[in-house]
Chain A
Amino acid sequence: MRRPLSALGGFFDGLVRFVVRFAIGLVCYPFDLVTTAGRAWYRFFFTPAEPAPLGLLRVSVGLLSLWSLWTIGLDLHANLGSDGWANPEALRAYWNEWKAGAPAWSLWLVVPDRFLAAAWVASLIVVAAFTLGIFSRVTAVLSWIVMVSTVRRAPVLFFGFDQSVLTWLMYLAVSGASGQAFSLDRLLARGHTVEPSVSANLGLRLIQLHLCLIYAVSGLAKLAGSSWWNGEAVLTILVLPEYHVGNLTWLAAYPKLLNLLAHGTVLLEILYPVLIWNRLCRPALLVAMVLLHVAIDQTLGLREFSLSMIAANMAFVSGPWLRGRPIPAAPPTETG
């Protein structure tokens, strides 16, 4: 009789221990989840980072903005004048209807036509100063205001390039850290010493996250299209009328290759936001993305768009690697 009783006691003892363990786990799990997520959040956004990639991004985005603004000036009055392609009445009607009363704005609307050229030259000087890294904190914000004003003034003329370059410009302005490397500010203030900073990390993290969002949305939206599943999408893009830069119809003779490119594009865009955070995968993904954007440039002639996306990918390039310093080891992961 003793043996079964002791077995029963052991069973109840195990059961009680299990219930206690389960109850403790139930109470502690949300707390652990929140504290671990909080620590990860802090480490992700508030660890000082080398500003070198941000400095390179500032130069690239600045040069692209300068080029965009310069070409806008080639048809200055048609682009930004009151009798231009998008006159102020049309613009306000468009804002009222499509922006539903949201605060869309453009400083070009308050510039009279006779001062347009002077304002354009002043804008070029501001963006040039930002590119060189002169008074970077102020010129970054001013450059963003100038470029947003330009895009908002004539929304009919702008495309993916303007959207992407304005996104990177916004984060460079908000972080206030774009002049911490490769800038005249740095050269004049403290020589060549570059210190890691939290603001540089914030700027890089925001650009990285937004880049991942763009690729994820672009890739996931393609999953709803039959031509990306049957592999015809790339051929359609290659022979897209008015865009194509050369006769690429001969590529249609290699349907399997075109299918591979279509599936590869979707796969790359979807996997990028997941795998780019892995150190080993990162170089391969960056090379693949550069190749994708070079292909977009060579087939559709969207050079500025491709360059702006390649520039944004630089946010994932290691700062210490750029400066030729040892890359710090990854923080140990918690186990068990």
Chain B
Amino acid sequence: MNSEPDQPGAARASWLDRLKNWSRYPDPKSEPAPGHRWPSWVCWLVSALLLFHVTATVACELADQWATSSLTRQVGRWFWSYIVLINQDYAHAYFAPNPEPRTPVVTARLRFKTGGPYHDVRLPDKSTQPRIRYVRQIAMAWHLTHESKEVDFAKHWYWARSYAKHLCRAHPDCDRISLLVQWHRAPNPNKLLDAIARSAVPDYDSDDWFSPPQLIGEFACDDL
């Protein structure tokens, strides 16, 4: 406040102080009260709960990673029920260890009792709006694809059966449903660089970038 014109630093500080004070509430009575502290027994109790929660969260987060030791898995199991109960059973390893350079596209091929042409339902469907619904369809495609990779898939294909059953109910004329998965591949970085250097970048959404369809399962609507 006591700025002197011959001290440019002091003058600048004063200008900054004035600007800072102006940006705050002018009334000192509006300063927050110190707030009430909790009794010590409450602090002890809450501390014990905090300790449990933090330990459980960290242990299960580590146990859920793609590479874990038997120790972390063992410790994670101790807290598993609690973590599932509070819906925190997730591993947050986004795009790790490496981003998958492909995305599954699941096609449900519907055949009708009338014998007409088949109808394809694509997951994800690019015309879906708003985008969050489209992203949810990608999640569904991932689940169906992961499930089909299980060793004893026919015994465990609850999501594939469930999805087929849903489509049968939604299309009453439908007789049979085939679920097919294709991988939509991302371009190899080096080949992409070559293509850019040659000014010949292909359309990566064209059919050339899809793997051949693989059958997930065949479902008869009457059996579902």
Contact = CB atoms under 8 A, between A and B. Distances in A.
A273 to B, nearest CB: 12
B25 A240 contact: no
B62 to A, nearest CB: 8
Contact of B99 (A75, A90, A227): A227
A100 to B, nearest CB: 7
Contacts, number: 225
B132 interface: yes
A209 B53 CA distance: 11
B124 A233 contact: no
Contacts of B132: 67-68, 71, 161, 303-304
B53 to A, nearest CB: 8
A306 B25 CA distance: 32
B13 interface: no
A198 B204 CA distance: 54
A252 B137 CA distance: 28
Interface in B54-110: 54, 57-58, 61-62, 65-67, 80-81, 83-99, 101-103, 105
A267 B140 CA distance: 32
A90 B32 contact: no
Contact of B102 (A159, A197, A241): A241
A131 to B, nearest CB: 17
B84 A240 contact: no
A214 interface: yes
Given A48-B35, A198-B38, A224-B97, A86 B159 contact: yes
B35 A221 contact: no
Contacts of A68: 132
Contacts of B189: 232, 235-236, 252
A198 B50 CA distance: 14
A159 B163 contact: no
B187 interface: yes
Nearest to A41: B47
B23 interface: yes
Nearest to A67: B132
Nearest to A224: B97
A194 B201 contact: no
A264 interface: no
A324 interface: yes
A291 to B, nearest CB: 16
A320 B158 CA distance: 52
Interface string A64-75: 000110010011
Contacts of A301: 131, 135
A241 B87 contact: no
Contact of A102 (B80, B91, B98): B80
A3 interface: no
B119 interface: no
B139 to A, nearest CB: 5
Contacts of B83: 102
B22 to A, nearest CB: 10
B159 A249 contact: no
Given A74-B133, A240-B103, A250-B196, A217 B209 contact: no
A156 B84 contact: no
A239 B187 contact: yes
A225 B209 CA distance: 24
Given A46-B38, A217-B61, A228-B97, 14 more contacts: A74-B133, A90-B162, A148-B87, A152-B87, A157-B139, A158-B139, A159-B138, A196-B35, A213-B61, A249-B187, A253-B196, A303-B131, A324-B24, A325-B24
6 contacts: A85-B163, A195-B33, A196-B32, A213-B58, A217-B92, A241-B186
Interface of B: 23-25, 30-38, 43, 46-47, 50, 53-54, 57-58, 61-62, 65-67, 80-81, 83-99, 101-103, 105, 124, 130-133, 135-140, 143-144, 156, 158-159, 161-163, 165-166, 169-170, 184-187, 189, 192-193, 195-196, 201, 204-205, 209
